[in-house]
Amino acid sequence: MTPTYRLGGRTSSYGYLWWLYTLAGGPPDANTADLVIAASGAQGQWLFVVPKYDLVVAINAGIASGPDPGLDMLFQTILPAMR
């Protein structure tokens, strides 16, 4: 069983420098059909791959302090526009 984590208020799993999420919000694993694959960098930099929508999103931010809006931007703004 893959360990799960809470990152940005969402259930995720982590391995080989990649975060895994699901579109539905459930616990992800490599066999999940609705995966969101993410890499997180310093100061709000993100790379998201959403195979279901043939979508790649790169966020290049410069957040020195405070909350990181990357996950919220993907799940609350970008993905709803894709549905």
Q: Which residue has the higher pLDDT, 46 or 4?
A: 46
Structure confidence by residue, pLDDT tens digits, 28-55: 877 788 899 999 988 889 999 999 999 9
Asked if residues 51 and 38 have their Cβ atoms less than 8 Å apart, the reply is: no
The pLDDT tens digits of the residues spanning 6-33 come to: 777 788 888 888 999 999 888 887 778 8
Domain borders along the chain are 4-82
